[in-house]
């Protein structure tokens, strides 16, 4: 049970999931597969079609856009949220910097959860609206 609790804590640290009710977060946790990825592996490539997101449990990744590094992410951070919500071209290339363990959430499975729970859909929409407001407040929209 402790491993499952750690997984749920890690998922809750992701802004997209941070305000979910316990049972909704547990449902997300059940659908998240755990993968171990060696150093130097490309998780996603800018422009490729995406259909999943990754939550980093341990290790780190480099995020590049148009060939320039824009971020280094580690445990508790996520990449690929846009593809979880709406399949489409990847906005960045993400490569593991060291052996990395991640939780993978697929678009199709996540949308099945959304279809089954109006409360979960509302939680995601509220979170997205808050993130858009924050971008607008920064003048980046």
- Domain total in the chain: 1
| pLDDT digits 0-9 by tens, 38-71 | 999 999 999 999 999 999 999 999 999 999 999 9
| pLDDT digits 0-9 by tens, 99-125 | 999 999 998 888 888 888 888 888 888
- The whole-chain average pLDDT of the chain stands at 89
**Domain of 67: which CATH number?**
2.60.120.10
pTM reported for the whole predicted model: 0.86
Element (H, E) at 78: strand 78-79
User: Residue for token digits 């449990």?
Assistant: 57
DSSP string, 92-140: SEEEESS-EEEEEEEHHHHHHHHHH-HHHHHHHHHHHHHHHHHHHHTT-
Token digits of residue 58: 């341990």
In which domain, by residue range, is 76 found? 2-137
Token digits of residue 10: 């890690």
């Amino acid at each position: 049970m402790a491993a499952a609790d750690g997984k749920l804590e890690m998922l809750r640290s992701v802004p997209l999931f941070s305000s979910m009710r316990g049972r909704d977060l547990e449902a997300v946790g059940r659908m998240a597969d755990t993968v171990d990825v060696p150093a130097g592996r490309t998780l996603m490539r800018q422009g490729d079609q995406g259909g999943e997101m990754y939550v980093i449990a341990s290790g780190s990744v480099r995020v590049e856009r148009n060939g320039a590094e824009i971020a280094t992410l580690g445990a508790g951070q996520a990449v690929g949220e846009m593809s979880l919500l709406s399949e489409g071209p990847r906005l960045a290339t993400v490569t593991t910097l060291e052996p990395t363990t991640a939780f993978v959430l697929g678009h199709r499975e996540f949308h099945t959860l959304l279809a089954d729970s109006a409360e979960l859909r509302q939680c995601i929409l509220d979170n997205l609206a808050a993130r858009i407001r924050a971008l607008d407040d920064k003048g980046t929209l």
